[in-house]
Structure 1
């Protein structure tokens, strides 16, 4: 038997309630890495006006403070997950944290728009390594069953809370200190993460491969980057523009070439397509595609509603999201207990249904709404739903993961969420667009409310579709050991057992 076979035997042998040595420190390291990645997405939004004023961004250029991160992050997620498996989790985590810290400092010291955009791209590179790695180290340190479910629940809860708190933190730092501190704040987090990673993570590589699939990495990076770029251009300039169309063509051609290469040309594929036959893997990735579309767009339009319709300041808008954060934590804490009693399917479907209801209630707000009678209730309903479904869906995705494929599955689930968020935001930006010149400020406000209402209703539809997918396709069954992949890395003809 090979070393891989021995590892799989050990993976199957462990009791469901036990975990690897130093598993608690591994979980803390994973949570810190994920907090930085999530914060970096949400904390920058409320600081954009201050950044534009300070650095003198040209009209239309400010969006690249966000887009530079999104393009690099989305394009390199799959490669980041596989690279972590190849070089070892400790080395990958140390490199990812170091690059994140350095680029954060450079971004905070930026004196020109180009310098800040370049630093944000560097953060995207580090994030593409850290995001899949933060989940991969949990899958290796914790066995399948209750121990992993609890760990994944904690990870998902921390990530969801960080996303909600990022809006508040961005408002606080921007108003009380400077927009530069939304980047400098990463430095102490990086230092703590480096210390924990050095002490807790193994230095051995988890993948039994001799080389990285460079052609596959290039093709999938090109495909995902072109897709995200096309979605960004479509959201900003319209779906019929030449730039968006060319990007989509490149994405399709590169995507098809990637599939052909992985199936026919790669000796050690970047993605083992046989793994996608497992119901738990493809269902979880499909569901998270819709979750990403709903949550990213929901945050975006809720923030715009508070500032453009209710005329909240950035700090006040950030504070308005505190109940959302509390609801997300509550939903995440409930998810593990409810899943243990009821199974994944009812918990996931209920969370998505609550998300749909919350988004529907957001769509009923108007210019006369207040925080108490308009914003609070949908925030609580949607946030509890998000907490329930994110934790249960992440547990579903990782339930059949082998240690040596942890980075691969983590990269897939993060890439699906990122693509879903970009796609949802691009679609809903078009849906919410206003047309015509308003004759008064009241008419302008009415136009905004109508656009946001349409966007929230479509977001509710995203959650509803995901709920139907969960009800129809998720199967709750006794945990079964994952099926071993062929030693040569080729796709297997035998599907992994259904899990969930």
Structure 2
């Protein structure tokens, strides 16, 4: 009996510590994803106060997203080499400090630079949170539940952006959408230094700077070119130039990693693990699904049904809650069923939900035109996203947890950036063709096309998912 009590006393701190580690990882991920969307509602107020031009204003969003997606591979490898606690704490310091500068900014240039640095902090945080979960939760069921909570925190963070941005901008000032990160960041920094181990990999390696430069520059150029399609056509030199340069740099990056680097930034051997290779490809496709759901349904509610930004956020809240619940269900099922059945079930729900959503028009009511289909889409996302993340990053060597986490996050972010550009261009062309780009009928037709394309992406994910291994450890 004494031995049992002693064992229980020894296990209890471990369980308590894991809970705090999960809280830290989920809160950090929530803050990172929240800042991807919270700024959107405040953009008009920011433009008025600081005197942004229309083109310059876009960089308040793009500056963050560009460095966030472009630097995640580097952040992932740095996590493996320098330790999870150091990288998570350093990312939080950078994120909170740049948020303070952004909140106090008096000129457009200062705010854009702050957002760029904020994206750098996010690129350090995102792969570190995944690495923390992968190494902290070694038991299969516990790790699946932790990934469900992590995925749900990111999804709710994206959803909460519109609500929080609208409330803070209306009730206080747009500056508080940045300043709110400072006290939250301070608490999370203290948690990171308290609950995480300072252990490093023990490897005497240095960062692959050639790979860091070519890989980061390639991703940044590719994403920048895709972002330019908002203001220029796909055939414009301002679009094709950066995209071509980005693709060329990524080819150089791959060759260097394969042949000329002893300690590569992105070890290509990881793509020999089937679930890493297939899961990364599926997450790339899934980025377009997430954009179609949260971004374009918000636009449909505002531009077609006439909702305010805050009311549109409230209109999406039932779907966000559904996603939160289903993500936990998926995580509980994953160790029992494997990834394939859950992903196929999720894609079926996505297909039906997007197909139903594509029937909505200016005369549709909220309950049958939006709520019903978005709940089905939320079920599909809740089943699919945490399953893909957990499967892609499961059981990798501890020395590679950061880079695999960075790879998974990068795939999702790049897929979202490309998906946004492609789907927005398709929506605009369809709206103009039907009834004019600014008319509710034309906009509805454009958004309906987006939802049909998202249904097609759902089918593609279902087809490719059969390549996922049956065993999580394959």
TM-score, normalised relative to structure 2: 0.93
SS at match of 1:211: coil
Q: 2 CA distance for matches of 1:360 and 1:57?
A: 39
Aligned residues: 462
Change (3 A) 1:122 1:442: closer
1:126 maps to which residue?
Answer: 121
Match of 2:440 in 1: 445
Q: 1:52 aligns with which of 47, 50, 53?
A: 47
Structure 1: runs of 5 or more not aligned: 1-17, 481-497
1-structure distance, mates of 2:380, 2:244: 36
Give distance in 2, aligned partners of 1:30 and 1:124: 17
Aligned partners of 1:216 and 1:340: how far apart in 2? 36
Matched, 1:100 2:95: yes
Q: Deviations over 1:434-484 (max 9, x none)?
A: 4798999998221111111111111221122111111x212222x54xxxx
Q: Tell me the TM-score normalized by structure 1.
A: 0.88
Q: In the alignment, is residue 153 of structure 1 matched against residue 155 of structure 2?
A: no
C-alpha contact 2:91 2:121 (8 A) present in aligned 1: yes
1:391 matched to 2:386: yes
Indicate yes or no: 2:458 matched with 1:473.
no
Comparing 431-440 with 313-322, greater Cα deviation is found at: 431-440
- Hey, what does 1:8 align to over in structure 2? none
Partner of 1:182: 177
Unmatched segments (≥5 aa) in structure 2: 1-12
Q: How does 1:31-430 map to 2 (within 5 A)?
A: 31-143=26-138, 145-206=140-201, 208-430=203-425
* Aligned mates of 2:366, 2:124 — CA distance in 1: 38
Rounded to whole Å, the distance in 1 between the matches of 2:297 and 2:386 is 23
Q: Deviations over 1:244-296 (max 9, x none)?
A: 11111111211111111111111111111111111110111111111111112
CA drift at 1:188: 2.2
- Tell me how far apart the structure 2 counterparts of residues 436 and 354 of structure 1 sit (CA, whole Å): 27
Report the structure, 1 or 2, having the larger helix content: 2
- 1:114 positional shift: 1.5
Out of 202-211 and 250-259, give the one that drifted further. 202-211
The secondary structure found in structure 2 opposite 1:321 is helix
The CA distance in 1 between the partners of 2:102 and 2:438, in whole Å, is 40
Instruction: Out of 441-450 and 164-173, give the one that drifted further.
Output: 441-450
Q: 2-side partners of 1:337 and 1:27: how far apart?
A: 16
SS at match of 2:74: helix
1:55-89 deviations in Å (ceiling 9; x for gaps): 22212322111110111111101001111111111
Check the 8 A contact 1:19/1:141 in 2, yes or no.
no
Q: Give the Cα–Cα distance (whole angstroms) in 2 for the partners of residues 323 and 91 of structure 1.
A: 37
Distance change (3 Å), C-alpha of 1:183 and 1:436: closer
1:353 positional shift: 2.3
Q: Residue 19 of structure 1 contacts residue 143 of structure 1 at CA under 8 Å; is this kept in 2?
A: no
* Post-superposition offset of 1:396: 0.4
Kindly indicate whether the alpha-carbon contact (under 8 Å) linking 1:23 and 1:141 is maintained by their aligned counterparts in 2. Answer: yes
> Per-residue displacement from partner, 1:202-222 (whole Å, max 9, x unpaired)?
112126242111111111001
